[in-house]
Structure 1
């Protein structure tokens, strides 16, 4: 079998595994990925690639600490603080709500924090005569790339194990120096664009008719605003977790803070960031147990724990599959795909975007496409710059949980899931945010690195 034929057939196996895994959803993504590895090994005789053990260990350590924090009430405290910020400046909610959600998604390492914020965003916007779809859609879409700016997300874990190694040595500090400003630019520009989309609440005849008929309450009518509660234990647990996040950033910025050990040849080398993150997160977990006193029996039932394990399993199977495929055909990929990417570098961003759209998983898209971008010669800085914005592809179709929740919370009906796949309220904000963030991220990468 010639190289071209085997490459095509094995590529079909990889794509089929991704498609079938996406149709199955959840852990099915990982299981189908594992089957793909089996086909490549037993049918095509390829050597198994390296499974993503480092990424899995980071995810498990972070998920453990974050789940303990959630069980102690830490997520509730974060949401309460975010809600107060949003309610304090209601007229700027279209910009402020997504920026606030972005900050807390970075700190918690999960987009799940958005769910309890959605009714707050709707309530504040409606009472201030602002079309709810505007802040709701931008707030939802930002979470697609927020995890590319979080030191403790599954997507970042996948990225670090690819770039923070020789010969790239592109670590956490360098990644954040690109992803955070690129994401902020994308959020602000998108909020300004979306702020002009759709009719104002007071000028929408359909919504005004529903208000007159009593189907919707008068926005000016007195009533209770959405109130969220938290506990002292939750607050303390969240603070401990956030301090752990800051410690990870500090270790990334200042490698000399990490313990150093002599390698062969006698030169002392700091421990890698993978090990550092794991040690910090386990330490944080113990501190939360001592300070927050969570019920340990409730930890496996938390949403963070469940979604984290699903992400780990999905990453394991798909990443192992792509590692096997790339290792078997690296020379061919570099000589063919590499030429395309060299001529049209933004093809890389399109590839990440499409895989994110198909799998609805940032970490899976990272482990699937980023190794190809690096293998064909793109600099880790440029890869990072385009990677963050392209992760927003997960909102291409109206199938994500936060999209569905936002549409359900919007009683005015201004936030729509559509009926033709791409006619939903999130599509245009997603495209604008992706394009701006990719462009700004690539520009930062070129200028700084």
Structure 2
């Protein structure tokens, strides 16, 4: 009978997650709370711990990020990233993912990647490269930046869970950052060999023939030699009609008057305007992030107070992050003379609030279920994971794919691994398996990449789990976990 009741409770948890994913947005967190209500009132389970620290870390970080966005700091970061990408066209498949990763780490959100998608596409296409290679790998690798960022929502949840294990921010970053860089290089190497060249791609040639996309200057000579005649001039690579090519951006123009030599020697850099004060706000935010890392690396720099046993103990990193990030938000507002009401209107604040509510609801429900079923289900699951630690990586990957939330997955699965007695280093090495969020094409950056790529090389298929992002996702998953497991062996606790 007890087993049957536990199964019913598990169905409530899974059902709440499924309904939350279907509802989308705030729905994930709200359904999590409803699941908690059912577990408490219908099954009489004691309410789990409310994830207060993780919730407020997210609120603090997104407030600072939104202040930076309102002051133009995000525009400044995007401008730098786009210049780096465009100035390295021959190494685009390697450079673009690395840039996406670094800027996600600095900002704590992969939302910054949206602005880079058109830049990566244009740079690849106008240089005659298959856009899918750089677009798909960059999209996937940007997700690894979440588990390597000291100011991401998932890191907020993970830090709270790892308190008392001897693994703080320095140890976590010492594993996730180098492991992610290794995964980035391996993924780029594999991705460079994925798919046919554009002039051998039937879908691309079909679009050229239909006049929906124009052959770039870098490929026109080869196209005409291979197929005869002149290249189609239906639309530019950005979708502008060929008749309006004179008014289209210089990066999108490739008319018959252009020559391959001209395109190769004088490429036009896509400029991203940066509002006045954008650079300053970005520097303030990055400085705040570095202060957090510094205080994490050197606990002696943090104020210390006596604990219950009278031992002087530095304040926790959760409090440090909250203090620093709220302070950063105020400094950005004052220095940039930004109206507080403008900060509230930023897209980042809205997206961050949704993430915070999702974390709150799912984490609360998961803790309620897990705490009440230690002997019945959690200990057996823990024994399985302890016997075969790689099962944790698989579980994190699949749950992240189903929930599309790194922070919610962290709060659902990491407590099980801790209860199993798994070493914190091994857990941290497995944690980037959250890359599974790209399992289904349900994320905005995936859809945006497909829609931006007018060549048709970046695509979805009728099979939900097989698309342009599948191979880079699986390769990066295997590489980041393998590298993490090796690195954690030499990370001091």
Q: TM-score range by the shorter chain?
A: over 0.9
In the alignment, is residue 272 of structure 1 matched against residue 316 of structure 2? yes
Tell me the alpha carbon deviations over residues 311-354 of structure 1, each in whole angstroms, 9 at most, x when there is no partner.
Answer: 01111110000101111112334531122112221111111111
Select which of 312, 329, 336 maps to 1:292: 336
Alpha-carbon deviation of 1:202?
Answer: 3.7
Q: Which residue number corresponds to residue 188 of structure 2?
A: 191
Which runs of 5 or more residues in structure 1 are unaligned? Answer: none
Q: How does 1:46-85 map to 2 (within 5 A)?
A: 46-85=45-84
- Supply the distance in 2 between the matched residues of 1:334 and 1:215 (Cα, whole angstroms): 55
CA change 1:210–1:327 in 2 (3 A) is: closer
Select which of 435, 440, 447 maps to 2:483: 440
Alpha-carbon deviation of 1:215?
Answer: 3.2
Tell me the alpha carbon deviations over residues 112-153 of structure 1, each in whole angstroms, 9 at most, x when there is no partner.
Answer: 001110000001111111100000001111122211000000
State the TM-score, normalized to the length of structure 2: 0.87
Alpha-carbon deviation of 1:364?
Answer: 0.6
Q: Is the 8 A contact 2:140 2:473 kept in 1?
A: yes
**Higher mean displacement: 314-323 or 14-23:** 14-23
- Supply the distance in 2 between the matched residues of 1:122 and 1:9 (Cα, whole angstroms): 48
Q: Is the 8 A contact 1:360 1:394 kept in 2?
A: yes
- Supply the distance in 2 between the matched residues of 1:228 and 1:112 (Cα, whole angstroms): 16
In the alignment, is residue 306 of structure 1 matched against residue 305 of structure 2? no
Q: Is the 8 A contact 1:123 1:225 kept in 2?
A: no
Q: Which residue number corresponds to residue 9 of structure 2?
A: 10
Q: Which residue number corresponds to residue 170 of structure 2?
A: 173
Alpha-carbon deviation of 1:213?
Answer: 6.1
Q: Which residue number corresponds to residue 396 of structure 1?
A: 439
Tell me the alpha carbon deviations over residues 65-89 of structure 1, each in whole angstroms, 9 at most, x when there is no partner.
Answer: 1000001111000000001111111
Alpha-carbon deviation of 1:262?
Answer: 2.3
Q: Which residue number corresponds to residue 112 of structure 2?
A: 113
CA change 1:341–1:128 in 2 (3 A) is: same
Aligned residues: 445
From the CA coordinates, give the structure whose radius of gyration is larger.
Answer: 2
Alpha-carbon deviation of 1:209?
Answer: 5.6
Alpha-carbon deviation of 1:6?
Answer: 2.6
Q: How does 1:254-273 map to 2 (within 5 A)?
A: 254-273=298-317
Q: Which residue number corresponds to residue 389 of structure 2?
A: 345
Select which of 234, 251, 255 maps to 2:295: 251
Q: Is the 8 A contact 2:203 2:457 kept in 1?
A: no
Q: Which residue number corresponds to residue 222 of structure 2?
A: none
Q: Is the 8 A contact 1:403 1:417 kept in 2?
A: no
Select which of 452, 461, 464 maps to 1:418: 461
Q: Is the 8 A contact 2:136 2:469 kept in 1?
A: yes
Alpha-carbon deviation of 1:180?
Answer: 0.6
Q: Which residue number corresponds to residue 383 of structure 1?
A: 427
Alpha-carbon deviation of 1:265?
Answer: 4.0
Alpha-carbon deviation of 1:268?
Answer: 1.7
Which runs of 5 or more residues in structure 2 are unaligned? Answer: 218-253, 255-262
Tell me the alpha carbon deviations over residues 28-58 of structure 1, each in whole angstroms, 9 at most, x when there is no partner.
Answer: 1111111111111111111101010000010
Tell me the alpha carbon deviations over residues 213-235 of structure 1, each in whole angstroms, 9 at most, x when there is no partner.
Answer: 64323322358553211023011
Which SS does the other structure have where 1:22 is aligned?
Answer: helix
Q: Is the 8 A contact 1:333 1:376 kept in 2?
A: no
Alpha-carbon deviation of 1:11?
Answer: 1.3
Which SS does the other structure have where 2:440 is aligned?
Answer: coil
Which SS does the other structure have where 1:269 is aligned?
Answer: strand
Q: How does 1:86-105 map to 2 (within 5 A)?
A: 86-105=85-104
Alpha-carbon deviation of 1:266?
Answer: 3.4
- Supply the distance in 1 between the matched residues of 2:299 and 2:91 (Cα, whole angstroms): 39
- Supply the distance in 2 between the matched residues of 1:294 and 1:117 (Cα, whole angstroms): 25
Q: Which residue number corresponds to residue 198 of structure 2?
A: 201
Alpha-carbon deviation of 1:170?
Answer: 1.0
RMSD: 1.6
Tell me the alpha carbon deviations over residues 377-397 of structure 1, each in whole angstroms, 9 at most, x when there is no partner.
Answer: 111111110111x11111111
